[in-house]
Structure 1
Amino acid sequence: MREFVVLGTASQVPTRTRNHNGYVLRWDGEGLLFDPGEGTQRQMIQAGVSSSQITRICITHVHGDHCLGLPGVLSRMALDRVAHPIHVHYPASGEDMIRALVAVASPGVDLRLHPHGSAGPVASGLDVRPLLHRLETYGYRVTEPDGRSLLPERLAAAGITGPDVSLLQRDGSMGGVRLEEVSVPRPGQSFAFVMDTAPCAGAEELAEGVDLLVAESTFSDDDGVLAAQYRHLTAGQAGALAATAGAGMLLLTHFSSRYPDVGQLAEQARARSGGIPVVAANDLDRIPFPKRKRWS
């Protein structure tokens, strides 16, 4: 299963209707928890996300609204006796903060800490790029390799059935039949998480061609001066990022409490998205992963 679960959408301070940050990407057998702010443990209960579903925790930076929920989540994992390792990825400059948060969590979790200090892969299929904020910040990208989809009618015509199908996929040929003759290319899917940043090359690299782009939209275009001052994206800039990248869908989040109605932010993003679908996230939304692109 692949879906994106929104736990919280507020920046800096929560509101009556929006919790601090928190997001879960369900990606086949992995569960990636991004930027767990305060209240994430409770929001997971509300959203029906169990602690045992989480395999990785990815933190963009150590401002409180992006990480202060970490001790509660880890304590719940200990209470639930989660047995598998939990990998935590975060900027190396936030080492002291992360270790302090881990120290106040209940013990008993097989925790693996992975600080990073430069662009590149941090796990299989998981890459980071530096963003432009007021302290060291990284965005994340999840990528599935390109593959091939088998065509049942061609397999039948070639007389390949049962276990031989797996052998064909493994070896690339079977009895003189090549994999390419009984399949078509299948483009890999991809996902980008771009939080707390001014426009920058790192955000563009993360977003390039992704099926689902999750991007902060802290400020309205009318408050562009504030956005530049605090190094955040406006809604229009988030829309332009999606358009430039050729993303399949843009999900806006991380809204300032000054906007009780974020509909205006979604409209500003749409005006610059080049026709790419734009959705303003609400707490507890479940976003199905977009359908796989056709090979061009």
Structure 2
Amino acid sequence: MRELVVLGTASQAPTRTRNHNGHLLLWDGRGLLFDPGEGTQRQLVHAGVAASRIGRICLTHVHGDHCYGLPGVLSRMVLDGVEHPVHLHYPATGEDVVRALVSVATPGLDLRLHPHGGPGQVAEDLEVRPLDHRVETYGYRLAEPAGRTLLPDRLAAAGIAGPDVRRLQREGSLRGTALADVSVPRPGQRFALVMDTAPCAGAEELAEDADLLVAECTYADDDAGLAARHRHLTAGQAGALAAAGGARTLVLTHFSARYEDLAPLAAQARAAAGGAAVHAAEDLDRFALPRRRAPRDQPAGTTPA
């Protein structure tokens, strides 16, 4: 199961219908929590997701609406008896804030701190890129390694069937037949999260080939001046980001409290998003990752490896 659970869609100030920021990615049994703002612990309860599923917590930056819920989440994990290690990733310049937040959480969790600076890989298949905000900020991308899609007709011609198929996948060759002879490359799935930022190269890199792109949409296009002043994206800029990167699904979030009706923002993003499906997220929405991209020139009747 690969699914995004939206825990909060507000920006600086929560509203009656929107909790502070928070997004949980469920990915093959793992749980990655991004930017837990105030109230995240309660939103997990409303979403029906146990805090014990969280294995990594990723902070884009240390503004309060993106991290003040951290002590509550950590304390809840202690209350629930979580024994597995929990890895916390954050910009190194936010060290003092993170240490202060962790210090007021209930002790007893195997919490491992991972400050980072600059672009690059911060964990297996998890990368960061710098964004353009008022404090040091990073977006995150989870990228599945590329695989191969098996071609049944070529398998049959090679006389490979049943358990031998798995053996071929595991060993790379079997009885003179290489895996490449009976398959084609298949791109891995990609998830990207772009929070508080003006348009920048880092955001573009994160959005490239994303199957599911979560992007802030703090302002409407009519308020582009405010967006530029506070270094945030407008709806149209979020849509253009998805279009430029070839993203398949765009989930808009992090809305200013000035907008009660999100339909105009979704429409502005959709007009600029190219072929991406666009959704203006509501609290507690869930979005499954789209099916894997088909390999280029994929013959009919292929089977994922």
- Quickly name the TM-score band, shorter chain normalised: over 0.9
Q: Which residue of 2 aligns with 1:69?
A: 69
- Partners of 2:286 and 2:48 lie apart in 1 by 10
Which residue is 1:86 aligned to? 86
Whether 2:273 is the aligned partner of 1:280: answer no
TM-superposed deviation, 1:232: 0.3
SS of equivalent residue, structure 2 residue 241: helix
Residue 15 of structure 2 aligns to a residue in which SS? coil
> 1:164 offset after TM fit, Å?
3.3
State the secondary structure of the residue aligned to 1:49: coil
Structure-1 separation of matches of 2:155 and 2:82 = 42
Which residue in 1 is equivalent to 2:301? Answer: none
Q: Secondary structure at the match of 1:37?
A: coil
Q: Which residue does the alignment assign to 2:249?
A: 249
CA contact (8 A) 2:149 2:295 kept: no
Indicate yes or no: 2:220 matched with 1:231. no
The alpha carbon displacement at 1:186 in A equals: 1.9
**2:197 maps to which residue?**
197
The residue type equivalent to 2:36 in the other structure is P
Secondary structure, aligned partner of 2:57: strand
After TM superposition, give the deviation of residue 181 of structure 1 in Å. 2.8
Question: Shift of the alpha carbon at 1:162?
Answer: 5.0
Q: What SS class does the counterpart of residue 265 from structure 1 fall into? A: helix
The match for 1:105 is 105
Q: Distance in 1 between matches of 2:275 and 2:127?
A: 27
Matches for 1:80-229 after TM superposition, within 5 Å? 80-152=80-152, 154-229=154-229
**Partner residue in 1 for 2:303:** none
User: Which range moves more in the overlay, 109-118 or 141-150?
Assistant: 141-150
1:30 shift after superposition: 1.5
- Which amino acid in 2 is paired with 1:205? E
Asked whether 1:271 is paired with 2:271, we answer yes
SS in 1 for 2:273: coil
The answer as to whether partners of 2:148 and 2:184 remain within 8 angstroms in 1 is: yes
**What value does the CA root-mean-square deviation take over the aligned residues?**
1.3
TM-score normalised by the chain length of structure 1: 0.97
Q: Return the alpha-carbon distance in structure 2 between the equivalents of residues 61 and 16 of structure 1.
A: 25
Give SS of 2:95's match. Answer: helix
CA distance in 1, matches of 2:84, 2:184: 36
Supply the distance in 1 between the matched residues of 2:107 and 2:278 (Cα, whole angstroms): 41
Alignment match, 2:15: 15
What is the CA-CA distance between 1:148 and the residue it aligns to?
A: 1.1
**Deviation of the 1:163 alpha carbon:** 4.5
Q: CA deviation at 1:106?
A: 0.6
Q: Unmatched 5+ residue regions in structure 1?
A: none
Q: Deviations over 1:7-50 (max 9, x none)?
A: 00000111010000110111113110000000000000111111
3-state SS of the aligned residue for 2:192?
A: strand
In the aligned structure 1, how far is the partner of 2:16 from the partner of 2:86?
Answer: 31
Q: Could you tell me how far 1:166 is from its partner in structure 2?
A: 3.1
In structure 2, the partner of 1:240 is 240
Greater than 6 Å deviation, 4+ residue runs: none
Counterpart residue number, 1:47: 47
| Residue 151 (structure 1) shift | 4.2
Q: What amino acid is the match of 1:137? A: T
| Alignment match, 1:33 | 33
Provide the rounded CA distance (Å) in 2 between the counterparts of 1:150 and 1:209: 22
Aligned residue in 1 for 2:294: 294
Distance 1:170 1:293 in 2: 23
Q: Structure 1 residues 228-237 or 22-31, which shifts more?
A: 22-31
Distance (whole Å) between structure 2 residues aligned to residue 275 and residue 165 of structure 1: 36
Measure, in 2, the Cα distance between the counterparts of 1:241 and 1:127: 18
Gaps spanning 5+ residues in structure 2: where?
297-305
Which amino acid counterpart does residue 134 of structure 1 have in structure 2? R
Q: SS at the partner of 2:78?
A: helix
Give the superposition deviation at 1:156.
5.0
Aligned residue pairs: how many?
A: 296
- What is the CA deviation profile of residues 37-64 of structure 1, one whole-angstrom value per residue up to 9, with x for unaligned ones? 0000000011111111111000000000
Bigger CA drift: 166-175 or 217-226? 166-175
DSSP-derived class of the 1:229 partner = helix
Aligned residue type for 2:223: D
Q: Which amino acid aligns with 1:294?
A: A
Aligned residue identity for 1:19: N
**What's the % identity of the aligned pairs?**
71
